[in-house]
Amino acid sequence: MTDTRNTPDAAGGDGGDAFVAAFNAVGADYLFCSSGSEWAPVWESLARRHRDGLPCPRYLDLTHETVAVGMATGYGLIERRPQGVLLHAAPGLLQGSMAVHGALLAGVPMVVASSESTTYGDGPGQDPGGQWYRNLSFVGGPHGVAQPFTKWANEAASVHTLPTMITRAAELSWRAPAGPAYLNIPLEILLEEWDGREAVPVAPPGSTHSSPEEVDLVAQLIREADSPVIVTETAGREAGGFEALLAFAEAWNIPVVEPDSAVCGNFPRTHPLHAGSDIGPWMDEADLILLVNCRAPFYPPSRRPSKARIVVIDEVPQRPHVVHQVLFAERYLEGNVAHTLRQLTKRAKDAHADETAVAAATARRCAQEERHADEQASIAAVEAKAAGAEGIDPVLVAATLRGLLDGRDAIVVDETITHSRVVKRHVQTSDPDSYFYVQGGLGQGIAVALGVKLAARERPVVLTIGDGAFAYNPVIPSYDAAKAYDLPLLIVVFNNRVYKSMNLNHRRFYPEGAAAETGEWLGTDLHRLPRLAQFAEPFGMHTETVDAPHALAPALERALKAVAEGTTAVVDVLVTR
């Protein structure tokens, strides 16, 4: 990373200057800010730097905490480096906490900061304001609030340690398992005089590797296996992980399962070795299961494979933030995942001299190609049925998107629930960093997609979202960010006018209950919502509502054209289920 130590600050300043100098040295591209009164010292420092032509991270003025954190998450999914997020006091931290927790689950590095007062107006210097005394402060400080949903949380108690605390937070957030770190920076610290001491750059994480002996043992297990399978949730999140997994699976001819819990694209869904999203068929068939960045492969957790030996390939297999985790591992390879996969790929050459191993690999490749061909035929049949239906089936929406996005190098961000399997199965993304599933709770999808677009401006970004999830999003602040920072998205709403997953659970738990008898399904009806595309109209965005199959493809084509021309497009598709 470029060393951008802030020598122009040698004359000193205040805590705001220390803050900006630190994030500049850290190498943050952006400060994602949901405004709070504590950030005036930072704003003043940025204004001076802009006036004087000094380097600093780009500042984004955002009008909702979820938008600020979600955009940092989306940006981090692509760039994989820590950025700065500024929230307001403990209430702003609470408002953004779901998105911060989502970043933790997605493994995205960032430094989140907010503030408190330590003097409540009774100390020397400038008056922090009575709001801190009356209603903004929490017992124990906001860093105590942040601890359950961040990787690390602490207080910067001195302006003189503030820059190095920011460096430490960034380094902690970047190292495995990556995730958000939180700093409570009291307003008095931001207003305090700073001596201008040098801010410390962040060094990228060093590499960790499993030993050759450990890798050799796992290679031997693969060589001896008749029916191995790879299961992965986040191999594609690691730098080079997508490509390394593809080479590894091809070298050994091992099928790859991406379970429903997969949070990103890890393997080409069109590849013959892609074995779908259901680990069920392998629970009795597999004799070796390779869990590659897979935090929760079996559900319920006690559901153990009948005969398979289990190897875990993960830099940090036991995730401290996961409440309950069962892997049944016999062996761990805990080095850098992409490096480990490359080492195992090299060892596949040794197996080529073993006729028994070659025969087994050839047989499982043929068997998997037959399964893949059957799956593709099933997909085609389902899509043909959807194309002939009266209304718009969700399958038709996903299949139409696949056709329109072909060759465009698009990125799909998904925040559907009941349609998530449809999106994965029928959109069929096949490239690195081309698919992400929003983590940690509904209501973040537009913001995450905006962050992805910020990091990949040259690529079309499509958000697929349910009507229920759409209603949870801070829509107006998200549209404001899209407009203000020229981040055009295609938003496709799968609108079935119901909280379907909630309704399905009610029916599953009480199949013959009072609701089934009377038809009184509470907590699920969304028919009362207005047309969802209309919320974008005041922002001058392209909007369409579609309720007929023949109108779907033309509407999506017009929307993609609008996005290519720089305008966010919202297509509200009224689906039949």
Same domain, 30 and 86: yes
The two most distant CA atoms of the chain are separated, in Å, by 82
Same domain, 366 and 251: yes
Q: What is the pLDDT of residue 12?
A: 67
Task: Indicate if the alpha-carbon torsion angle 302, 305, 306, 310 is positive or negative.
Answer: negative
Q: What is the pLDDT of residue 199?
A: 84
d(CA 200, CA 58): 19
Residue 204 lies in a domain: no
Per-position b or e across 394-406, b if 16+ CB within 10 A of its CB: bbbbbbbbbebbe
| Final residue before a domain boundary, out of 345, 371, 397 | 371
Residue 327 lies in a domain: yes
Same domain, 398 and 364: no
Strands 309-313 and 30-34 turn out to be: unpaired
Residue 556 lies in a domain: yes
Q: What is the pLDDT of residue 525?
A: 85
pTM over 0.85: yes
The structural domain count of the chain equals 3
SS (H, E, C) 190-216: HHCEECCCCCCCCCCCCCCCCCHHHHH
Residue 145 lies in a domain: yes
Same domain, 425 and 555: yes
* Residue ranges of the chain with per-residue pLDDT less than 70: 1-12
Same domain, 166 and 303: no
Q: What is the pLDDT of residue 11?
A: 52
Q: What is the pLDDT of residue 198?
A: 82
Residue 135 lies in a domain: yes
| Final residue before a domain boundary, out of 319, 345, 371 | 371
Q: Please give the residue range of the domain that contains residue 347.
A: 212-371
State pLDDT tens for residues 149-170: 999 999 999 999 999 999 999 9
Q: What is the pLDDT of residue 351?
A: 73
Residue 97 lies in a domain: yes
State pLDDT tens for residues 238-263: 999 999 999 999 999 999 999 999 99
d(CA 417, CA 221): 37
| Final residue before a domain boundary, out of 194, 229, 257 | 194
**89's tokens:** 């006091």
d(CA 353, CA 251): 14
Same domain, 49 and 92: yes
Same domain, 358 and 468: no
d(CA 229, CA 245): 12
Residue 200 lies in a domain: no
Q: What is the CATH number of the domain that holds 565?
A: 3.40.50.970
Same domain, 168 and 292: no
